[in-house]
Structure 1
Amino acid sequence: MEIYSTLTRSKETFETMNDNRINLFVCGPTVYDDAHIGHGRTYISFDTIKRYWEYKGYTVFYIQNITDVDDKIIKRSKETGIPAGDIAKKFEKRYIEDMAKLNVTGVNLFARATDHMGEIIDQIQRLIDKGFAYETEDGVYFGIDNFKEFGKLSNRNIEELESHREIAKTTKKNPIDFALWKKRENVDEPVWNSPWGEGRPGWHIEDTAITEYYFGPQYDVHGGGLDLIFPHHEAEITQMEAVSGKSPMVNYWLHTGFLNVSGEKMSKSLNNFITIRELLKEYDADVFRFFVLSTHYRSPIDFSKESLHQSEKSLDKIKKYYESLECEIIENATSDYAPLKIAKEEFFKSMDDDFNTPKAIAAIFGLINDSKSEIDSLADEDVSAIREFLDDVGFILGIDFVLKDTGSSDELLTLISDVRQELRNNKQYELSDKIRNQLTDLGYEISD
């Protein structure tokens, strides 16, 4: 298996640190609002990656952090009058509910920043003791000048560092040093006791404190969105490698591409901000997963109603094919059926090539196109083997290929088909073809 690492900008042969065990950390949400479809894209991708590793026999310990203390949460608290802790608890609960609806079930531990304050304070103190960090009247800062490799993940120069989620302080030794601990500014903000007075952690330090506690100073894979490479992931490397003296902190860095909406960046100001909850009022969760996985996880993805509609039709084609596989179920059926062997080879070859889900999905459609005309004549062993393969694919992609009960919809389709046949009998071919074409657009196939 080869995976692309952002650190080296190349595909590398995947090797674990500890036999068949993989330690995976993915940056989780800041819980001040409902999760949006960009979050959905990232977490569906990493859920699928974990599923594939597990299918191949790995044991995966997957951690996501929950940023439940942050400037954005405090700002929302001031706007609403609701305590910051209550806001964080509310949106953490809603986030986990949203993930469950998307069948993102692979996270083994949601680690809250506030549950690891002891580890955060300990890591900051060790950075101070080693000369990498210093205290001022308003906080504790990491001195960038003390870590010569800063910028190796993003390939950016130290001068390019922009402040992120914090305002540059005059008490810093260097304007681009970043905060590890922020001392209390207002009486109404959440604070914790520390050797440097009451305050709260900076954004970057929570991740390395959590991963060091569970994984140690070095582990296999760190993931997140492309927007987090700089400065967040860069700061993580800086903190962890400085405090531990070990490099690399992570063997493989995986980043998902941006999600745009109809060609534009998603933002509330453009009125194109879509939460997962809003999306699922109109579309099935399987359709959104299929839409996400139809694009490579590293590539940008453009969301639109048209693209969701196309994904719905494509997924429906697979589900209808799966439904047509009627046979006596044979456990661990063996088959030499050529289209199946080709599809399996292409599917797993694609997944082993940096989790190339669009090419893997294309292999499924290749199987459908090559076999649908002869399904009824295949031996039960072949049909059962196809079903078993598609069950495996469904697990890996996190999609259920079993058609939901359509009830009266089937009766309506039968009626439409009968009316269309009567039109053909009366040689009204133009209207008959129009009905057929519209049904095809809806994902239904009619053969005359």
Structure 2
Amino acid sequence: MKLRLHNSLTRRVEDFVPLDPNRVTMYVCGPTVYNYVHIGNARPYVVFGLLARLLRRLYPNVIYARNITDVDDKINAAAAEAGVPIATITDRYAADFRADMARLGVDAPDVEPHATAHISHIIAMIEQLIASGHAYAAEGHVLFDVASFPDYGKLSGRSTDEMIAGARVEVAPYKKNPADFVLWKPSTPELPGWDSPWGRGRPGWHIECSAMSEAHLGETIDIHAGGNDLLFPHHENEVAQSTCAHGGKIFARYWLHNGMLSLEGRKMSKSLGNTFRLHELLEQHPAELLRYMLMKAHYRQPLDWSASALEQARRTLDGWYTTLRDLHAGARKSGASAAHELPEEFLAALMDDLNTPEALAILSRLADAARKAQTPEARDAAVDALLAAGNFLGLLQADPESWFQGATADSSLDEAQVQQLVDARQAAKKAKNFTEADRLRAQLLELGIVVEDTPQGPRWKRAA
């Protein structure tokens, strides 16, 4: 069974063949830490984190790098508005990003380079580009000479005119060509800056990733991934810089791009004001629910976020957890299921360009098989397969009872108080005081609690 991935460079699905099977390298563009990330920002870290998990299953040594951009004009603006040093902003939001990723079940990268820790690497790469005739200094700036790289536009498939229009480039008098992009720019006294051969300044965004990737993964890497909004100009510019700085060597052999999120059919973006911060969503919903949502569509396709889709996802997860609870399977999580081999069809789905919708469908089939099993052995085998596959996707991590009582999400409701109301309702029913029982049930519903009467007694859960 071969891993097959869609390569944005060739625009087709290809067998993945690493340059060195004993050292597989992957770089994913990380956040610019000036505020909390929104839910759309989280999608690449979930899906490409899952890819890193799959690669580690296939190869003995995988180096996964995900950077932190901690020098940027948006950061400068946020610091100025708050009246604090730049590091106060970047340290806070980098820490919040890591914490939110951990809550979302995203594996930490092997390497997390910060742009500000690589200024010397950035300056060295710019010097290489100038020396080889691919960059030039002008009025305190250093710019990449797009005309010096004939393959510019190959990754995004755009013409020069389309690229200039799409990038809304700054037409500056010091540029040879409007498409030339900044590698280094001067800093005024109130802005962060570093000494360089071209004066005190700071790097452009694109050169940061090229330098960090080179420093930690080498001149040629196996996989470079990120959102398709980065395809141009960011990734196109990375290709140009890195290829030219390394004497024509291939920069990244496979390019992977995930689709964007929309909100009820409309593009989700900060400029439109219709984004949801991940940090806030994690306060409102179980992390597994958000993780499921980010995997329910194929990573290359757009993903529409809506209240109805969220409710449907919650019903699916509730169904799986109901199966585990009813079959008393929670205790098996740390036992046989942890070491259970992944179902072959489940693994095949992920090996087929990370087909998470099919992988999730297989989890539903495994839950059905567990319910319909005719023997204890068949039931346990299906449960173990369900838990193993769920664990690989970062799902079904909670105890079933805890899931239904909302322990996976933060809440101001005190569980003991809820249980008192549930017990009071049960006592009213036994006393045949159905008016009081109905009143207590309505009170619980107002608190977002659903009571389910079962032969074993009442069970409660938080409403989706």
Residue in 2 aligned with 1:181?
184
> Does the 8 Å contact 2:262/2:303 carry over to 1?
yes
TM-score by length of 2: 0.82
Kindly tell me: are residues 19 and 270 of structure 1, through their superposed partners in 2, closer, same or farther at Cα, counting changes over 3 Å? closer
Deviations along 1:207-244, whole A, 9 cap, x unmatched?
11111111111011111001000000000000111111
Give matches, 1:64-79, under 5 Å: 64-79=66-81
| Alpha-carbon distance, 1:57 to partner | 4.6
> Does the 8 Å contact 2:21/2:59 carry over to 1?
no
User: Which of 394, 400, 403 matches 1:403?
Assistant: 400
Residue in 2 aligned with 1:172?
175
User: Which of 224, 227, 252 matches 1:225?
Assistant: 227
Code of the aligned partner of 2:283? K
**Cα distance in structure 1, aligned partners of 2:398 and 2:302:** 26
**Cα distance in structure 2, aligned partners of 1:417 and 1:304:** 36
User: Which of 30, 33, 46 matches 2:32?
Assistant: 30
Kindly tell me: are residues 46 and 200 of structure 1, through their superposed partners in 2, closer, same or farther at Cα, counting changes over 3 Å? same
Aligned residues: CA RMSD: 3.1
User: Which of 239, 242, 258 matches 1:240?
Assistant: 242
Is 1:350 the counterpart of 2:355? The answer is no
Give matches, 1:34-73, under 5 Å: 34-73=36-75
Kindly tell me: are residues 193 and 140 of structure 1, through their superposed partners in 2, closer, same or farther at Cα, counting changes over 3 Å? same
Residue in 2 aligned with 1:438?
none
* SS of alignment partner, residue 107 of structure 1: coil
Q: How many residues of Structure 1 are paired with residues of Structure 2 in the alignment?
A: 419
Residue in 1 aligned with 2:434?
none
TM-score by length of 1: 0.85
> Does the 8 Å contact 1:322/1:387 carry over to 2?
yes
Code of the aligned partner of 1:132? H
Residue in 1 aligned with 2:381?
385
**Cα distance in structure 2, aligned partners of 1:419 and 1:220:** 65
Residue in 1 aligned with 2:116?
114
> Does the 8 Å contact 1:35/1:98 carry over to 2?
no
> Does the 8 Å contact 2:194/2:200 carry over to 1?
yes
* SS of alignment partner, residue 3 of structure 1: strand
**Cα distance in structure 2, aligned partners of 1:269 and 1:210:** 29
Code of the aligned partner of 1:353? D
Is 1:290 the counterpart of 2:292? The answer is yes
| Alpha-carbon distance, 1:85 to partner | 2.4
| Alpha-carbon distance, 1:260 to partner | 0.9
Kindly tell me: are residues 196 and 308 of structure 1, through their superposed partners in 2, closer, same or farther at Cα, counting changes over 3 Å? same
Give matches, 1:197-216, under 5 Å: 197-216=199-218
**Cα distance in structure 1, aligned partners of 2:271 and 2:257:** 26
Which shifted more, 217-226 or 92-101? Answer: 92-101
> Does the 8 Å contact 1:218/1:246 carry over to 2?
no
| Alpha-carbon distance, 1:38 to partner | 0.7
Is 1:97 the counterpart of 2:99? The answer is yes
Code of the aligned partner of 1:175? P
Code of the aligned partner of 2:109? V
* SS of alignment partner, residue 248 of structure 1: coil
Quick one: percent identity of the two aligned structures?
A: 36
**Cα distance in structure 2, aligned partners of 1:124 and 1:216:** 16
Code of the aligned partner of 2:16? F
Deviations along 1:248-276, whole A, 9 cap, x unmatched?
21111111100011211223454422101
**Cα distance in structure 2, aligned partners of 1:240 and 1:55:** 29
Which shifted more, 146-155 or 273-282? Answer: 273-282
> Does the 8 Å contact 2:31/2:68 carry over to 1?
yes
**Cα distance in structure 1, aligned partners of 2:33 and 2:232:** 21
Unmatched runs of 5 consecutive residues or more in structure 2: 406-414, 430-449, 456-464
Code of the aligned partner of 1:10? R
Kindly tell me: are residues 411 and 17 of structure 1, through their superposed partners in 2, closer, same or farther at Cα, counting changes over 3 Å? farther
| Alpha-carbon distance, 1:197 to partner | 0.8
| Alpha-carbon distance, 1:310 to partner | 1.0
Code of the aligned partner of 1:396? F
User: Which of 195, 198, 206 matches 2:197?
Assistant: 195
